[in-house]
Amino acid sequence: MTPTNSDSRFRSLTGDSRTRMLTGGSLERIPFAEVVRSLYRERTTAKLLVSRGGEERTFSFDRGQILFASSNREAQLVGELLRTFGLADENLLMSAFEKALNEPGQGLARALTESGAVPGYVAEAAVRALSERLFFDTLKWTSGVFTVTPLDAAPDVPAKMDRPTGGMLLEALRRLPSPASQLNSPLDPGSRPVFAPDLLLRYQAILVSAEEAEVLGKVDGTTTVEQIHRDQRIVARLAATGLVQLVAQGRPIEKSGAAEGLLFLNVEIAGAQPPARVAEQHELQRELVWNAYRRLDWATHYDLLGVEPGDPGEAIVKALHERARLFHPDHHLKSHLGDARDALEALFARVRIAERAFRSPETRTAYDRTLEVSADTIALPDTAPTMEVQKEIARKNYTRAKVLYEEEDFYPAYEMTRQAVEFDPSQKEYWVLLSRIQRKNPKWVRHATETMRRAVKFIPENVELWWELAEACLHERNEPERMKALKEVMRLDPGNRRAQAALANITAKASR
């Protein structure tokens, strides 16, 4: 079953990981491949408009995935395609094109079908073929301007491309006589290719040719471009895709410490036999993705990577790269993870956050300190009256946290309720919600009980708080303290039926 509230979880996890997004420019300064790669790397949902010589081409992206391409000249282009293969009557084509003029990129397939020019499946295939052709052809543009318009949701398109953005880029680059034109600087034969330090680019799920696989197999940070392969265009297109990075002569190379080589990437080789037990590997990967996603709200970075807090830095680096490879968002285009896109996006976003936290011994120490603080139960403030502004913040936090709790977005709900209790501990509702949130995490059951112990200490004459303490003890399986809490409920409210029934049930079990 797919967990709920994936959209809000994804937004909360990626909000602080974005850099300044590309908004526009010229293709003379920023090659088209770099524009696409930037939108992919930043997981952008947007429309990219590229203009040159009166033609405008629009490219739709959803979280970095290229979906569709259209042109203000698409009718002409599709018409040429259909005429070439004799698939449509000329008069019907003209009628369909007139209907589609007002909906570029949307109405052509429908207009072709409704006019009777071609069957529906032919119209859809023609529009999809045009979409890919436009994408491939735009890499030949060395002049023009582009504008990026961010969108709140994935754009509606008539047909979707079914290959990863990197795979589409690589196919387009293969068709260029000089793929180095899509690099930021001229290809230096003496530069040394290394695997991309950016985890998203490094672990793209791309289908490569045998020659491209041969080049990737020789990438070691020492061998130069001219030494790796006689056809330097292969290296150029792998670099333009982002799988590898070219380090200039004389520049130092920092080793990541992760395992390197063709076998440790996500690429597949065209024509090669699938690895042994591939179905079993896919099932294990799917199980890992969903299990990690279900626990994501409560997982520490160590939990996510499957390591222990005391493990050495080398083990952390190895686990980071392995999780990045397995949780890469490109996997959502594979059949065994076709329903896991939100899960993969959220998991990979957390891997990126973990990467920053473990970037150095200092950042790791700082992160470990946050775990020590968050593991502690909230200390009660002293008896000085709480400031009004803190009470207002607490009230707003609690109101928002209730909504998040109902949506099962537990981690932000916990943080907000925790602060609400700290700012205004006189409100029993805050304590109750905090304990209930903590009980959602099996690892925090004792924290939930401790929260309610402190609550009844601070507000001793409240029946609801004693009842919540009894409930927390039930989850902790602490029957003696549960009975004490239930007896306190009866002392404060002798007619309380819930407490009477619970005590009677405990007594009946003890007598069996």
Identify whether residues 204 and 126 lie together within a single domain.
Answer: no
Picking from 98, 97, 85, 164, the residue whose alpha carbon sits closest to that of residue 125 is: 85
**Residue 280 — pLDDT band, cuts 50, 70, 90?**
very high
Provide the pairing of β-strand 207-208 with 268-269: parallel
CA 114, chain centre distance (Å): 39
Strand-pair category, 65-71 with 55-62: antiparallel
Task: CATH number of the domain at 359, please.
Answer: 1.10.287.110
My answer on whether 292 and 247 are in the same domain is no
Number of independent structural domains in the chain: 4
Residue 404: the pLDDT is: 80
**3 located within any domain:** no
> What is the per-residue pLDDT for 141?
95
**Using CB atoms within 10 A of its CB, is residue 375 exposed (0-12), middle (13-18) or buried (19+)?**
exposed
Average pLDDT score over the chain = 84
* Domain membership of residue 403 as a residue range: 388-511
CA angle centred on 343, ends 171 and 311, rounded to 5°: 100
Mean pLDDT in residue range 318-346: 96
- Within-domain flag for 1: no
Domain termination site, one of 162, 184, 201: 162
* Strand 192-195 to 244-247 pairing: antiparallel
pLDDT band of 115, cuts 50, 70, 90 = low
- 403-407 contacts at long range (C-beta below 8 A, 24 or more positions apart): 404/8, 405/433, 405/436, 405/437, 407/4, 407/5, 407/8
Of the candidates 292, 274, 291, the residue with the CA atom closest to the CA atom of residue 335: 274
Confidence class of residue 510 from pLDDT cuts 50, 70 and 90?
Answer: confident
Three-state secondary structure of 443-470: HHHHHHHHHHHHHHHHCCCCHHHHHHHH
Using a 10 angstrom Cβ sphere, with 0-12 exposed, 13-18 middle and 19 or more buried, the burial of residue 29 is exposed
- The more confident residue out of 438 and 325 is 325
Supply the pLDDT for residue 6: 33
Mean pLDDT of the region 430-452: 88
- Which range has the worst mean pLDDT, 183-192, 218-227, 365-374? 365-374
Q: Answer yes or no: do 149 and 198 share one domain.
A: no
Q: Give the H/E segment covering residue 320.
A: helix 313-326
Whether residue 261 sits in one domain with residue 137: no
- The top-scoring range by mean pLDDT among 304-308, 391-395, 408-412 is 304-308
Nearest to 477 by CA among 434, 444, 510, 445: 445
Same domain, yes or no: 363 and 500: no
Q: Are residues 427 and 310 in the same domain?
A: no
pTM of the model: 0.69
Q: What is the pLDDT of residue 105?
A: 47
Question: Is residue 5 assigned to a domain?
Answer: no
**Per-residue pLDDT, 84:** 54
Summarize the confidence of residues 55-80 as an average pLDDT. 82
Strands 244-247 and 65-71: unpaired
Pairing of strands 145-150, 207-208: unpaired
Given a cut of 60, whether residue 104 has pLDDT beyond it is no
Over the range 418-443, which residues count as b (16 or more CB within 10 Å of their CB) and which as e?
bbbbbbbbebbebbbbbbbbbbbbee
Q: Are residues 30 and 155 in the same domain?
A: yes
Q: Which of 331, 352, 375 lies at the terminal end of a domain, its last residue?
A: 375
Least confident of 66-80, 217-231, 455-469: 66-80
Residue 4 forms part of a structural domain: no
Confidence of residue 116 (pLDDT cuts 50, 70, 90): low
- Nearest CA to 332 out of 100, 55, 62 is that of 62
Pair 413, 467 in one domain: yes
- Residue 10, pLDDT > 50, answer no
**Based on the domain organization, do 471 and 504 belong to the same domain?**
yes
- Asked if residue 382 belongs to a domain, the reply is no
pLDDT at 195 > cutoff 70 = yes
88 has a pLDDT exceeding 70: no
Asked if residue 383 is part of any domain, the answer here is: no
pLDDT-derived band at 387 (thresholds 50, 70, 90) equals confident
Percent of the chain having pLDDT more than 70? 83
Residues 203 and 288 in one domain: no
* Higher-scoring residue by pLDDT: 215, 104: 215
pLDDT score of 227 more than 90: yes
End-of-domain residue from the set 122, 146, 162: 162
Assess whether 370 and 394 both reside in one domain. no
Model pLDDT, residue 422: 87
Same domain, 154 and 204: no
pLDDT at position 445 is 82
Domain-embedded: residue 6: no
- Measured distance CA(458)–CA(359) in Å, rounded: 42
Please report the DSSP string for 496-511 in residue order: -HHHHHHHHHHHHHHH
* 206-218: average pLDDT: 96
Whether residue 288 is contained in a domain is answered as yes
Residue found by looking up tokens 């896991």 in the block: 340
pLDDT tens readout for residues 250-269: 898 888 788 888 999 999 99
Q: Which of 106-110, 341-345, 453-457, 502-506 has the lowest mean pLDDT?
A: 106-110
- pLDDT category at 8 given cuts 50, 70, 90 is very low
- Name the helix (H) or strand (E) containing 208: strand 207-208
Please compute the mean of the pLDDT values over residues 440-449 and round it to a whole number.
84
Burial 345-363 (b: 16+ CB within 10 A, else e): bbbbbbbbbbbebbeeeee
